[in-house]
Amino acid sequence: MPRPHSGIRRALALLLGLVLVLSGCSAIPRSGPVQALQVENVAEGQGSTFSPPGPKVDAHPREIIEGFIEAGIAPQDDYKVAREFLNPKQNGVWKGSVQTLVYDARPSVIPGSRPSTFTIQLEVVAQIDANGVMTELPPHSTRAVDMTLEKLNGQWKISELPDGTMIDRDSFNGLFAAQPIYFYDATYHYAVPDMRWFPKRTGLAAAMVEALLKGPAGYLENAVVSAFPSGSSLVRSAVPIESQRATVDLNSATFIDATELSRQQMQQQLDLTLKGLSSIRSVVMTDEQREVKLGPADPQFIPAQVNAPVPDTQIGIVDQALYYVKGKAINRVAGIDDISEYDPRDPAMSPLGNRYAFLDGTFTRLFTVDDLGHSRVVARGTALVRPSIDTSGWTWTADHGAKTRILAVPEDTLLNGKVRPIAADWLNDSSISSIRISRDGARALIVSSKAGVSTVSISGILRDSDGTPRGFATPMHLYPSVPVTRAVWDSDSSIIVASSDPNERVEAERINLGGKPEKFQPLLGMVGLSAGPGERRPVFAETKDKLYTRVGNSWHKMEESARDLSYPG
């Protein structure tokens, strides 16, 4: 198998050293998902700049290809250095920013079946599209990139190649940063983050606004909404920043049918998206250079909640009854029916109001408890999964005895009908071990397995205008580095995953959707895990007979005992 040119190896080694210095020694790990980039408050134009060499005189075809790959670390001036490796035709049409392949192992350059053709074989961990949407790939995924070269004036040039660049995993950390752009849930009560990855260079603010105007990533499509109408665009691809004041100049089509309410929602969406950059403190919205003046807050305007917290009181089971757990205090839930005859398991609590749900000891019946404390069966099935209650009052579970696995039960079954199956083709023939609905109600976090392979997925929830769920968007898959049977929301942009094993040491992992994963200290016999969005929400773990809370990266045993703990949601 051909080995890269020694000069390339030396350049990459030097580059790695620069990356580690410039990024504070933060790096994407060599195992696990390519989510290990933790960059906060990236300032406009303060990214790392690298200057790889252009093509050498009389370079061989393999050297030209290797040089072109290396030039992918320099996005400045629209990949000016990379274009030096292309013939005049490709130089004018090739688009470097359309796609970025992040590879792990050293690429191999293999001669093709025809003269002057080559195939680059890569072990790819992720790909990023032109709008910054990252798609993680399963471990050991491969990709083949074909190229054709020709000789011009005695020098080899690339004459055929796909759009996009290739960047090694280490360089990626120094070149890209994750930034959230924000959309709304259907009620405009919650801001839903859509994490994107952009090169750290001048023009970051414009890239973020352009991505925002083009709409959400596929896994949120039709599950979230934007205040900006279709056809909105920047007048030119720039967001000037002066004295930390960003000016977003939009085309007039943006405001043709805009109301005062929608303009205020647009302004809020821009504020949420851009003020995460340390270089921006205020955002001004203009209509083709005319400042958009906003009046007093519209009566229907709602300041959107970011990382909306769940209540810090958990629900659990003690002596066949529902109990509240808050810190060291454990108190029985008063005013509800006696449910001991059902051998209650896996309770859930609504994030809004005093409503509960639980499974019976055979995991074949789902019960809900209404505001008056009355319990009743609302769904039956086989090996039902722990319920989750969303902000709209729907109770979710999974039924392994039904063709359509996911079930949703309305808050008022007399008014809104009985249990509804929620179809998802990507879950066909899968076993579902966990489902949790995000605090904003727009996303489902699902752990499923098929043919012995577990998958963690986040999928936007498609709803009718009245909030009734009707399906899921195409999911985003995550690939933790630990075994997984359950997952919980830790914030609006992070989750915690773990398996369940009463006899073995279990290692949980926090996955930040735009940052570095964190492994927890293993706990012998872990069978339960609970966490919830909000400041100072401790993480709890359970064994068969003990309850633990996480302190630092250690598990502290609590004197009190409860089982099947769950934060609201």
Give per-residue pLDDT as tens, 85-108.
999 999 999 999 999 999 998 899
Q: Which CATH number fits domain 314-566: 2.120.10.30, 3.40.50.720, 2.40.160.40, 3.30.2130.10?
A: 2.120.10.30
Is 60 exceeded by the pLDDT of residue 27? no
SS3 category, 483: coil
Q: Please give the pLDDT value at position 46.
A: 52
Using CA atoms, how far apart are residues 355 and 501, in angstroms rounded to an integer?
30
Query: 74 vs 191, which has greater pLDDT?
Result: 191
User: What φ, ψ does residue 401 adopt, rounded to 5°?
Assistant: -100, 0
CA–CA distances in Å: residue 248 to residues 72, 173, 236:
29, 28, 10
Q: What Rg value do the Cα atoms of the chain yield, rounded?
A: 26
Is 60 exceeded by the pLDDT of residue 38? no
User: SS3 sequence, 286-312?
Assistant: EECCEECCCCCCCCCCCCCECCCCCCC
Query: 116 vs 12, which has greater pLDDT?
Result: 116
Is 50 exceeded by the pLDDT of residue 397? yes
pLDDT band at 22 (very low <50, low <70, confident <90, very high): very low
Using CA atoms, how far apart are residues 287 and 232, in angstroms rounded to an integer?
11
CA–CA distances in Å: residue 568 to residues 211, 415, 506:
33, 24, 24
Q: What is the mean predicted confidence (pLDDT) over 488-511?
A: 97
Instruction: Find out whether 287 and 257 touch, Cβ atoms under 8 Å.
Output: no
Give per-residue pLDDT as tens, 416-445.
788 999 999 999 999 999 999 999 999 999
User: What φ, ψ does residue 55 adopt, rounded to 5°?
Assistant: -65, 140
Give per-residue pLDDT as tens, 116-163.
999 999 999 999 999 999 999 999 999 999 999 999 999 999 999 999
Q: Where are the domains of the chain?
A: 6-176, 314-566
Which residues, other chains included, contact 387 with Cβ-Cβ below 8 Å and sequence gap of 6+? 346, 348, 357, 358, 359, 366, 395, 396, 397
Q: What is the mean predicted confidence (pLDDT) over 472-491?
A: 97
Entry pTM: 0.89
pLDDT band at 47 (very low <50, low <70, confident <90, very high): low
